[in-house]
Chain A
């Protein structure tokens, strides 16, 4: 399989493939919703210390300081750790994330959560080197964290699913900080171990026929059939999961909310390249064939606007979109899909202010393999905007 690809280091000048473009707002590609998330208290990275004290794996490019309307920040406390779920923190302002508290007492809070003032903000650009790696057993916790909300809250064989993803090293990529891949592994005894992987993203595709006997895939199939409301769609879904399963790839792409959008096309590039190589490189004919997918099945989350009760909508900004796609490419997939359906999510919804008019929904899509080239073009175009 391919050697690790170093993704773009995210400075304004230095864009992928030597392309130059004017220093953009790094988040122009995001919907207004996504950009507002970056300013929200619950956003994990909103208070990254942009000082010398910053640890390398906490930093990503040009994080704007939080808006002034938030409560005055507490003293930066030396014990703040990363805002990953269950990552311990001493200040419990947010459920299941670190505190929104501090670290930005130096920066000028000259921004707002609307989309108009980005260019005038003072933004420090922080160097971040992300790299792509093959999944390996040590990534267990990081991958598990990303997949924890893949299905709804009802328990399923999540651990088995994670193991499956990690075992398939020929096709599948995890995104981590470039320094993390240390051949000496355990050498950094006292250092912060990357036990939780500092894994920012994951992409893979699993053949539903090949792994059909695995408990996690059985759980998943059962779940999808259970949440599908429409009778006709359910027939199509059933056919995909049963007789056609050996030609269907479950495409799984999970990443943190503010994952740099420039790297998303690269994630998909690496995936589809690996799939194509696998059809030649896998040791047996059977395995090679298992990567000749005719269809891809995707399960993602979207936000649908709740029907406003008699025009009471207070925040009439352009967050009035009927559907918000936290992952930009999902909108393209949906356009190109052969069929799709949505279903409500039962797990506790986010309490964010920006999202109170929206309800989280699951979206299942079936995308024919032959539209993938079109998808890649559209994604590239979207990201270059």
Chain B
């Protein structure tokens, strides 16, 4: 059952950061979570996902901003050149074998900011190396499009999309939305997360059946996310109902 996960009263926070998408990377096959921060952050992911996909604690290049440095989907995971050998090995050990884990030599090393993808399509920063583009196509098994979003070249930061839907920068024009939607073959909506933040991919992380949003995300933003990522389909679980109640309590 698709479940929308957001912890409201305690909040999904990583040391008072609502930027869930900075400290984690979620795909349909695995989930990466940054080391450090409270156990609460890690356990929120674990409790939702551990039965289905591995949840792996890691750093990248010794940093905690792993969500912004790597990009991946069910086919592969691409890591920047700053990734250490130990980190690379650790990830290869913990991630399912069918997922190709590769460290690449791209100057624009914050791969998560430059590339956004689902299991079929990727959008990339216009200045990305041609070699990298080919690697993305090979390793991630996707069709690659160089794009901007609302005039921003960091496409990885300003949108988040799964195989079911996507959320993009609030200032994206209707024409751009149409074009992107055609490229990605999923419905898209322009919106915000974490109370008006336009850095979508920093504020949330999503796969085909779960989304995690920072604790500042408003009820309106959550309902948009629920709707575009089709997380409301099927019977809402008890968890979602409880959260809705607590949401109403918090926001009234």
Contacts and interface: CB of A to CB of B under 8 A. Distances in A.
A88 B157 contact: yes
Nearest to A347: B15
Contact of A90 (B17, B18, B125, B199): B125
Interface string B181-214: 0000000000000011111001000000000000
Given A78-B153, A88-B68, A88-B110, A153 B15 contact: yes
Nearest to B169: A193
B127 to A, nearest CB: 7
Contact of A158 (B16, B114, B157, B195): B16
A25 B224 CA distance: 52
B110 to A, nearest CB: 4
A149 B15 CA distance: 9
Interface stretch (B59-67, B134-142, B229-237): B59-67
Given A92-B61, A92-B63, A155 B196 contact: no
B34 to A, nearest CB: 10
A95 to B, nearest CB: 4
A81 to B, nearest CB: 8
Interface in A178-202: 189-190, 193, 195
Contacts of A193: 171, 198
B19 interface: yes
Contact of B171 (A78, A89, A156, A190): A190
B11 A155 contact: yes
A140 B16 contact: no
B73 interface: no
Given A79-B125, A155-B13, 9 more contacts: A78-B153, A86-B17, A86-B202, A88-B110, A90-B108, A90-B109, A96-B63, A159-B216, A190-B171
A86 B171 contact: no
A159 B150 CA distance: 28
- SS class of chain A's interface: helix, strand, loop or mixed? loop
Nearest to B108: A90
Contact of A92 (B18, B37, B80, B202): B80
Given A95-B63, A155-B13, A195-B196, A86 B19 contact: yes
Contact of A155 (B15, B19, B197): B15
Interface in B75-96: 80, 82
B22 interface: yes
13 contacts: A77-B108, A79-B153, A86-B19, A88-B68, A90-B108, A90-B125, A90-B153, A93-B82, A96-B63, A141-B196, A153-B37, A155-B11, A190-B171
A69 interface: no
A92 B197 contact: no
